Structure 1
Amino acid sequence: MTPGRPDSVLTFGEALLKLALPTAQRLEHLTALRAECAGSELNVAAALCSLGRPAAWTSALPEGPLGDWARAHVQSLGVTDLSLKRPGRLGTFFLEDHHPPRPSRAVYDRQGTAFQALTVGDLEPAWLADRAAVHVSGISLALGPGPQALAMALMQAARTRQVPVSFDVNHRRLLLPDAAASGTYGPAVRQADLIFAAQRDLPLLGGVAGVQALNPSALLVVTRGAQGSEAYPPGGEAIRQAAFPTAGPGRVGRGDAFAGGFLHAWLGGAPPAEALELAAACAALKTTLPGDQLSATTADLQAVLAGHDNGEPRR
């Protein structure tokens, strides 16, 4: 296995076949579907690559045409594919994209997947060679004992090698009951150097104070959607960042774009305030794009950060 570059990030998580309905259509009235390759941790890796930082992704994919399709998509993103071949199927979900006040809806079909066949014995120490960081999310912890054990072992191995660990709580209520969240995510929070949590998920871990009690030395980043974001350095005061005005079809994946942007800046030595600003710009740009992954140039980001991207045509 080719080792990573010293500035590269390894992400771990499941890839999915996302079947998206036309905007505002419901499954009960299904007429058409659009296929996309999705997955939170893959989205983070794609955001990092878009920002110029190499990233690798490890997972499990089935043999056959759907596995080949997912592998081709990963490679098209510029992400190094370290996925294993395992028996099973490719996880699937249907997405209804609605406008407020009707909430969007995901319907999962994730049983019997190749990813669920993973076990702690699949850990490859070479995955961590020359990595700048490892990124894991709570989604993998919620997908069964095998992926959960492997995710925890990967985080622990990273700490042993002094590779920084990034953990996004990323609670999915359709995968894990709220009552099980603290016991499932708590051990991962304790392993992390950088923790992401959406405001809606914080109460599951006792709020900011609860997360800090679990891991006093980690940097905690809290996302609040249109209300912006906050960073809580260990022992320091909260740092706040407003969200950039944005509109478009790409609400799905913007949290992953935010995480990728923050992680990229943080690994580059940026202070939390600067990392929050770049992350907010990445989330805003992702909202303008269809699909799940961020694609943005340095010029795109600089325009948002400078306040010049007002939607007027560039002539």
Structure 2
Amino acid sequence: MKQVVTFGEIMMRLSPPQCQRLSQAASLDVTYGGGDANVAAGLAYLGVPAAHAGCFPDNAVGRAAAQHFQHHGVDMQHCVFRGHRLGLYFLEVGASLRASRIVYDRYDSAFANLQPEWFNWDAVFQNAQWLHWTGITPAISATAAQATREAIAAARRRGLTVSADVNYRRNLWQYGQRAQDVMPELVAGCDLVVCTEGDAEDLFGIRPEAGADNSFVSVSRQLMARFPQIKQVIATRRSTQSASHERIRGLAYSGGEYFETEDFDINPVVDRIGGGDSFISGFIYGQLTYPTVPQALTFATAASALKHTIPGDINLVSAAEVEHIVAGNTTGRLLR
């Protein structure tokens, strides 16, 4: 099987232990994550060959971040080591009534300062079948946006499937270009997008049509009409009961049909970071494995639900574990 390639920034994640506030912490737990790379690692655990392209500082911290994903089965040979700084984010894990909170410290990172010519996309895609990126990557800098543009163009030339989680983060777009001006060209090169109704309105000015019975279907149809390359739109619908209790379901519009899963109830939530990344890695796996969209969507939603039970950014689960949940085994009985 050929590789799924992802492109984006990886950051160090620092969290106070045992749901402490930052003001209480005498120590911080360290791990690494990034929306695109989390997808690659999730796929590697599901048995799909995965590679990541990115830029790290040329120092011990940058090497540690890359080695973290290499340890989890991701091919990191196409990563570049230049620059001096790895982006950071600080996560306070919430509980019950107190929401989790993230503070970013990623300004002037090595990835933000990358140059597009550092990546030979034809070489990166030599053994690839799929490119996945997120809307965070072109938001970081003008050069990151240009590299994303070139990656998509090279993927299209080579006949790869291209997917994106549009993931609009308003506060990231600080370098003088608007997401609304950059993202349409990039999304036009995608076969599959993860896009909620809110992101569709914020990025593309697309709103549900008046009187629409299903807002997701209405928005999906309009996205496909504007961007004819798109064949599938997927998303999750999240019902937050508290910081410790979530319900999620998967949505898909594909081939003129709408699909929706049952709710997956997650209580308690251990760590919701990476839940969306686990959804798309599960859906990619499902598209490569199952004959129908409903099967892929159910697998993806179950994979996302399982990620909420695992600390860290990466979904450390096998396909068999996800299939166990899909089969209705959700009581958490001891497996021997």
Distance in structure 2 (CA, Å) of the matches to 1:181 and 1:101: 33
| Residue number among 45, 50, 56 corresponding to 1:55 in the alignment | 50
1:106-125 Cα offsets, whole Å, 9 max, x none, are 11111121111212212312
Distance in structure 1 (CA, Å) of the matches to 2:162 and 2:85: 29
User: Residue type of the partner of 1:255?
Assistant: G
Q: Is the 8 A contact 1:189 1:211 kept in 2?
A: no
Runs of 4+ in 1 over 6 A off after TM superposition: none
2:316 is paired with a residue whose SS is coil
1:110-149 Cα offsets, whole Å, 9 max, x none, are 1121111212212312001121100111010110001110
* Alignment-derived partner of residue 176 in structure 1: 173
* Alignment-derived partner of residue 300 in structure 1: 321
CA drift of 1:290 comes to 0.6
* Alignment-derived partner of residue 211 in structure 1: 223
Give the TM-score of the pair, scaled to structure 1: 0.91
**Can you give the 5+ residue segments of structure 2 that lack an aligned partner in the other structure?**
208-218, 239-246
CA drift of 1:186 comes to 1.6
Larger mean Cα displacement after TM superposition, 37-46 or 290-299: 290-299
| Residue number among 236, 240, 262 corresponding to 1:242 in the alignment | 262
Matches within 5 A, 1:90-169: 90-99=86-95, 101-124=97-120, 125-169=122-166
Larger mean Cα displacement after TM superposition, 161-170 or 200-209: 200-209
* Alignment-derived partner of residue 215 in structure 2: none
Q: Is the 8 A contact 2:55 2:82 kept in 1?
A: yes
* Alignment-derived partner of residue 220 in structure 1: 233
CA drift of 1:100 comes to 5.1
Larger mean Cα displacement after TM superposition, 192-201 or 145-154: 192-201
CA drift of 1:227 comes to 4.4
User: Residue type of the partner of 2:30?
Assistant: A
Q: Is the 8 A contact 2:250 2:298 kept in 1?
A: no
Q: Classify 1:27/1:120 alpha carbon distance in 2 versus 1 (closer, same or farther; 3 Å).
A: same
RMSD of aligned alpha carbons:
2.0
Q: Is the 8 A contact 1:258 1:279 kept in 2?
A: yes
Larger mean Cα displacement after TM superposition, 219-228 or 150-159: 219-228
1:117 is paired with a residue whose SS is coil
CA drift of 1:243 comes to 3.3
* Alignment-derived partner of residue 3 in structure 1: none
Q: Is the 8 A contact 2:248 2:265 kept in 1?
A: no
Larger mean Cα displacement after TM superposition, 136-145 or 291-300: 291-300
* Alignment-derived partner of residue 252 in structure 2: 231
Q: Classify 1:18/1:198 alpha carbon distance in 2 versus 1 (closer, same or farther; 3 Å).
A: farther
Give the TM-score of the pair, scaled to structure 2: 0.86
Q: Classify 1:100/1:182 alpha carbon distance in 2 versus 1 (closer, same or farther; 3 Å).
A: farther
2:305 is the counterpart of 1:284: yes
CA drift of 1:183 comes to 2.3
Q: Classify 1:198/1:292 alpha carbon distance in 2 versus 1 (closer, same or farther; 3 Å).
A: farther
CA drift of 1:24 comes to 4.4
User: Residue type of the partner of 2:194?
Assistant: F
Distance in structure 1 (CA, Å) of the matches to 2:227 and 2:285: 22
